[in-house]
């Protein structure tokens, strides 16, 4: 029996404006930015190993001028629901436990207060778990946090590598394409969702 559905957030539930926000904050193309910045810094921030001040300090150390205020202005303005996902989450209310399962830093707390309020019983991200997808500890700690067995949870993500990692641990997982296809997949696993919102 399915007791919970765990959703990746960015580009699965919400549009992710992260790249546009980085360009606005640094006035660099992503190609130039990624060539200059230390690749392990953002993953460490997502795992909760760095605070936000330390994260931005790494840009300065790499000789990159970054404006966190501009970053957050563009990030917040660019977050929006993907089509059909609000209705799907609303229809799941009372049927299963709804949880996030995102690679995301502490900024997830702001999302919990606005976009996600009332639509999830659990807000869980890599910064809470100390691990990132597709690493196995992410999924193992997610299961512990939700108090479910692998066969009792469905996992949804827009990245194939994250889907495959969940499946390797015995979790039924779906690569997100759109809300309609996802709704049908959840129904196929025994959750009594209506076919259409």
What does 3-42 look like in DSSP terms, one character per residue? -EEEE--BTTTB---HHHHHHHHH-S-HHHHHHHS-TTHH
Sites in the chain below the pLDDT cut of 50: none
Give the pLDDT of residue 182: 98
Residues of the chain with CATH 3.40.50.1000: 4-15+80-188
Supply the pTM of this predicted model: 0.94
pLDDT computed for residue 195 by the predictor: 84
pLDDT recorded at residue 197: 60
Residue with tokens 């990132």: 132
* 3-class state of residue 154 by DSSP: strand
Residue of 153, 179, 181 lying closest to 167 (CA atoms): 153
Whether residue 15 contacts residue 79, with contact meaning beta carbons closer than 8 Å, is answered with yes
CATH 3.40.50.1000 for the 4-15+80-188 domain, yes or no: yes
HSE-up of residue 156 (Cα within 13 Å, Cβ side) = 27
Count CB neighbours of 93 within 10 A. Answer: 12
């Amino acid at each position: 029996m399915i007791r919970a559905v765990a959703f990746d957030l960015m580009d699965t539930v919400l549009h992710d404006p992260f790249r546009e926000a980085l360009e606005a904050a640094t006035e660099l193309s992503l190609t130039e930015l990624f060539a200059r910045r230390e690749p392990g810094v953002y993953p460490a921030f997502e795992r909760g190993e760095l605070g936000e001040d330390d994260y931005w300090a790494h840009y300065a150390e790499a000789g990159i001028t970054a404006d966190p205020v501009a970053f957050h202005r563009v990030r917040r303005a660019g977050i929006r629901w993907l089509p059909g996902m609000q209705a799907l989450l609303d229809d799941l209310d009372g049927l299963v436990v709804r949880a996030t399962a995102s690679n995301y830093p502490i900024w997830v707390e702001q999302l919990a207060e606005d976009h996600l309020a009332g639509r999830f019983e659990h807000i869980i991200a890599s910064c809470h778990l100390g691990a990132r997808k597709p690493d196995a500890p992410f999924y193992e700690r997610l299961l512990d946090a939700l108090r479910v067995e692998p066969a009792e949870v469905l996992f949804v993500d827009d990245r194939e590598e994250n889907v495959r990692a969940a499946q390797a641990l015995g979790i039924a997982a779906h690569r997100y394409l759109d809300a309609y296809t996802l709704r049908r997949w959840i129904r196929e696993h025994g959750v009594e969702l209506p076919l259409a919102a």
